[in-house]
A and B are shown apart, each in its own frame.
Chain A
Amino acid sequence: MSLGDLQVLLFQLGARVFAARASDLRRVAGSLLERPEDGVAETVLGSPWNPRRGLVVDVGGEERTVLVDGVLGLRVVPEPDFEALPAFAREVLPTAALTGFAMLDGIPTLVVDLPTLVREGERHRSAVPSEEESRHA
């Protein structure tokens, strides 16, 4: 493993598999089905079908847990197999949480910046009033 190599954690969200930098994670939590409100279920990547794992990240000094369907494991992505997101794509995509592609077994897998994903989600939720707030309004 060289210094340019990337340690990623592969996780499944819905039907798709994403990768996240291992360094962005504090730990992997077990199922949060007992208290799903403590986790982040809805993101720009979609919602888990059966959230059995939680990816715990540090956002502004606080832990946030992104609910996913499963964790497939850790992989080392050699530097040549990582491609940063093209500029055009960064401009077009509605999120800045997708940072690039990692070629895993010949399959391009999106690498997700989990803290950015959480922050964008929280911003989105704060911008849109909840149903209860709408009813009070």
Chain B
Amino acid sequence: MPERTSSGRARPRAPRGRDADSAAIAEVLRAHAEGDYARRVDVKALRDPALARVARDVNVAAEKAKERSDEVAARMEAVRLGLDQAIDAMVRLVVQGDLTGTLRLAVSDATLTPLIAGVGQVMETLKRFVKEIREAALQLSSSSAEVLAAATQNETSTSQQATAVHETTATMEELKGASHQIAENAQMVASIAEQTLSATRQGEGAIRAFMESMEKVRRNAIEVDEAVVKLSRRVERIGTVVEVIDEIADRSDLLALNAALEGAKAGEAGRGFSIVAAEMRRLAENVMESTREIKNLIGEIRESTHAAKEASDGNKRMAAEGERLGGAAMASVSGILAGAQGTSDSARVIHLATQQQRSATEQVVQSMGEIEEVTRQAQAGSRQATGAASELARLAERLASMVQRFKVD
């Protein structure tokens, strides 16, 4: 069986003599080079004395290297043990959260002193951090609670604001409709006012024409009155003449009657005389009948002229009253005209104002729509902020709870 090296490779068979010795030494050195300090050169097996000395030195060197290596290994083991203890102690402290104590190790290697000092510094730093984190967690918890309250309040306010904005938008929509209606009504009022103004002007013209007619009626009534007076005088003169004619006719009748009477007394001789007298009497009676008719006519004319006079006087009074009323109506219509003019002007101004109001209302409605959209977004953002604040508060409480597990005092 061939001899095996520490790495398991087959060790070549040693040559005889010097070469074999060198090979043996080289093989051991290779093993040493690979860290196997336990290999030794079998000096007794060497044939070359020089190589045997070298082999002994190699073995001594190997022995010293092995001792040195064992020392280093022991120190490394102690350091490793110290590190493990330190790490275990830190892990325990961290896991248990008790930072009040100090690190004590079973290993007192000088090389671990810096490590222990560093761990102590780390512990102190950790304590300070925990304290600061605890205070920060408390502040964070308090602040997050305030933020949550503020966010909740903000969300509530935003919701109320959104509701108010929505109601305001609805109201403005109604106001917009009302503004449209008002604008149309104002336009109608302006049109009616203009028509009223035109009608009032026509009325003013009609009253002026009426007053001119009244003036003509009054002048005509005066002329009629004068004509009636003249007619009455003529009629009175006719009456006087008729009275004279009637008196003459009466005397003629009387004379004819007496003539007839004398004729009758004369008997047959006076018959022709009686006939003539009777004819005269008939004529006289005809005249008196005519004068009676004339008197009746004169009486009717007197009544008619009296009625005409009264009517004329009434016309004059009515014309004067008409003129007075026309003047009053003119004054009233002048006032109405001024009022209608003012109403028309005001209606036009109102119409323009309502149109501006309608435009402004439409702009306000549009702006309210935009505000409502922004408010809706703000409401969503506020809701998100509230959720985030709630999450933040929860995390703050969790952080505070976690930090509370560390004892630093």
Contact = CB atoms under 8 A, between A and B. Distances in A.
Does A pair with B? yes
A73 B264 contact: no
B267 to A, nearest CB: 9
Contact of B257 (A1, A7, A73): A73
Nearest to A9: B261
Dominant SS among interface residues on chain B? helix
A52 B257 CA distance: 14
A71 B271 CA distance: 20
Contacts of B274: 74
A28 interface: yes
A73 B257 CA distance: 7
B397 to A, nearest CB: 142
Contacts of B258: 27-28
Nearest to A56: B258
Contacts of B265: 22-23
Given A1-B268, A22-B265, A23-B265, A74 B260 contact: yes
A28 B258 CA distance: 6
Contacts of B324: none
Interface in A40-95: 52-53, 71, 73-74
Contact of A28 (B257, B271, B278): B257
A80 B268 CA distance: 20
A3 B36 CA distance: 228
**Interface of A (DSSP majority class):** strand
Contacts of A52: 250
B325 interface: no
A36 interface: no
A25 interface: yes
A53 B253 CA distance: 11
A108 interface: no
A73 B261 contact: no
B295 to A, nearest CB: 15
A73 B250 contact: no
B361 to A, nearest CB: 99
Nearest to A22: B264
B199 to A, nearest CB: 68
B281 interface: yes
A39 to B, nearest CB: 15
Contacts of B251: 30
B50 interface: no
Contacts of B257: 28, 71, 73-74
B250 A25 contact: no
Contact of A73 (B254, B271, B281): B281
Interface in B249-289: 250-251, 254, 257-258, 260-261, 264-265, 268, 271, 274, 278, 281
A27 B260 contact: no
Contacts of A9: 261
Nearest to A23: B265
A110 B258 CA distance: 22
A75 to B, nearest CB: 10
Nearest to A52: B250
B261 A22 contact: yes
Contacts of B254: 28-30, 53
Contact of B250 (A23, A27, A30): A30
A25 B261 contact: yes
Interface string A20-35: 0011010111100000
A74 B261 contact: yes
Interface in B143-192: none
Contacts of B281: 73
Nearest to B282: A73
Contact of B278 (A1, A22, A74): A74
Contacts of A25: 261
**8 closest residue pairs by CB, A with B:** A22-B264, A7-B264, A28-B257, A27-B258, A74-B260, A30-B254, A28-B258, A74-B264
Given A52-B250, A53-B254, A74-B274, 9 more contacts: A7-B264, A9-B261, A22-B261, A22-B265, A23-B265, A73-B257, A73-B281, A74-B257, A74-B261
5 contacts: A1-B271, A7-B264, A73-B257, A73-B281, A74-B274
